[in-house]
Amino acid sequence: MGNGTFGLDREAIILRSGVREIFTPHTPIDEVDHFFGREEEAARLVSVINSPGQHILLYGDRGVGKTSLAMTTCKAILQQLQGGHFFEKRCDSGDSFASIFEDPLLETGIDLSLQEQSSTHHSGGNAGITTFFANAGVRSDRSTTKKTKLNYRPDSPSWVANQISHLKGIFLIDETDAISKEDDKKKLAEVIKLLSDSKSKFKIIVVGIAKTGEELTAGHPSVERCLKEVSLKRMSDSALRKMILNGMKRLDIIPNDAVVEKIINISAGFPHFTHLICLKCAENSLVSRNRHINEKSLASALEASVEESEGALRRLFDTTLRYLAKPQEYRLLLLGAAYCRTPDFRISELKNKLEDTLNVSVDPKLLSRRLGTLTKGEGKTILCRPARGVFQFTDPRMPCFIKMALDSERASLRITALG
């Protein structure tokens, strides 16, 4: 069927289906009914946040679903268990310790945008003045206005903790890794400790991209007792499979087994890519009125997924290949590296993967030279070398993007010889 003017007919079908409420690659999931695959982790967070004196530090790679897990858990707790306020703060490089707590402080009646308050004192009165003159606006009272500087100390962890400790609810502080000053991270950790010591029912969930929890608390030594660190790993294949099948079932769409397994393989544990590919598959299925998704439908969905992928991934991939003398050879090499299962790989593993997956045999010395080229250049490179003989994608999501972008080229890449 046609898409109509500006694709409006297509959009109308998609919007009526509700598919973009089920598969949400560009926004975190915040509804329990749409949350699949992380039930065990959610139960763990619920248990921790309901333990007296306990707060949560949730960290991991970009794209593993940290925000979705935190938001869904918060809603479940507030709606079904304890009630109370919910505050959410997404940090950026311009945030300070004081700016992070603006909303909770405002709930207590403290407006940090006000530096002083004015009070007016009236004296005198209308005594001795006739009703006629009083009604005419003739008054004998006097008023004086006094301005008082407010004694706010938003940079003090103890002051902030004292103001918000009586609140009940949850404060989700997301993208904490964006906070530029280590001192602000330490102050955040100190507030958490003070809230725990006072047995406050106001709980904080800190979320950020990090390899260790210390990166988000600046290594504050006294917070370990009250801040439960939860490292969120990539999702298992079984969890991704559950996400795909449950979502498709709600839309009355049936993907064949090969399609499901291919989506899982491409996603490599990142639910963002699972949501993205499933969304494009489902949209095409709904518009074409074909409830079955096969490999041909998936190929079309992968092309659309590449177009909607994060700009930073596309730019790094395109820029890398643009300035290479033999880009087709490097496409072959990158596709083989993308299929390596571990975050870092050695030349021997890549050689085996090229032989097993693409049926291409490559001299190890040539592989070493090509890989070395991909680690050099101005600015960010697509690969780095964390140790001698070991290579790694600088962005852990890049293998997923490469598999989406180059999947349709696998047949032609097989005849490419490196040399």
62 and 103 in a single domain? The answer is yes
Question: Out of 31-40, 176-185, 208-217, 327-336, which region has the weakest mean confidence (pLDDT)?
Answer: 31-40
303 and 335 in a single domain? The answer is no
CATH code, 46 = 3.40.50.300
**According to the model, what pLDDT value does residue 118 have?**
53
| Alpha-carbon distances, residue 362 vs 243, 284, 385, 393 (angstroms) | 38, 39, 20, 20
Residue that is last in its domain, among 177, 202, 232: 232
Distance in angstroms (rounded) separating the CA atoms of residues 416 and 358: 10
Q: Tell me what the mean pLDDT of segment 350-369 comes to.
A: 89
Please report which helix (H) or strand (E) contains residue 119, including its range: strand 116-123
pLDDT at 204 over 80: yes
Higher pLDDT: 141 or 130? It is 141
393 belongs to a structural domain: yes
204 belongs to a structural domain: yes
295 belongs to a structural domain: yes
The beta-strand segments (E) located in 75-233 are: 85-90, 116-123, 142-149, 169-174, 202-209, 227-232
The beta-strand segments (E) located in 192-299 are: 202-209, 227-232, 254-255, 292-293
189 and 263 in a single domain? The answer is no
**According to the model, what pLDDT value does residue 135 have?**
46
74 and 162 in a single domain? The answer is yes
CB atoms within 10 A of CB 308: 12
Question: Out of 21-30, 248-257, 298-307, which region has the weakest mean confidence (pLDDT)?
Answer: 21-30
| Structure tokens belonging to residue 168 | 């009940």
242 and 224 in a single domain? The answer is no
Sign of CA dihedral 298, 300, 303, 309: negative
269 and 205 in a single domain? The answer is no
Distance in angstroms (rounded) separating the CA atoms of residues 90 and 95: 9
- What is the pLDDT confidence band of residue 131, given thresholds at 50, 70 and 90? very low
Domain limits for position 255: 13-19+236-308
- What is the pLDDT confidence band of residue 407, given thresholds at 50, 70 and 90? confident
196 belongs to a structural domain: yes
**According to the model, what pLDDT value does residue 134 have?**
42
83 belongs to a structural domain: yes
Q: Tell me what the mean pLDDT of segment 122-151 comes to.
A: 53
Identity at 327, one-letter amino acid code: P
How many domains are contained in the chain?
3
Distance in angstroms (rounded) separating the CA atoms of residues 19 and 25: 11
CATH code, 240 = 1.10.8
176 and 84 in a single domain? The answer is yes
47 and 183 in a single domain? The answer is yes
97 and 241 in a single domain? The answer is no
30 belongs to a structural domain: no
Give the tens place of pLDDT for each residue, 218-271: 777 778 889 899 999 999 999 999 999 999 999 999 999 999 999 999 999 999
Residue that is last in its domain, among 198, 232, 266: 232
CATH code, 348 = 1.10.10
Give the tens place of pLDDT for each residue, 368-393: 999 999 999 888 999 999 999 899 99
293 and 348 in a single domain? The answer is no
Distance in angstroms (rounded) separating the CA atoms of residues 321 and 331: 8
Question: Out of 105-109, 326-330, 368-372, which region has the weakest mean confidence (pLDDT)?
Answer: 326-330
Residue that is last in its domain, among 232, 254, 275: 232
291 and 338 in a single domain? The answer is no
Q: Tell me what the mean pLDDT of segment 167-178 comes to.
A: 94
210 and 188 in a single domain? The answer is yes
409 belongs to a structural domain: yes
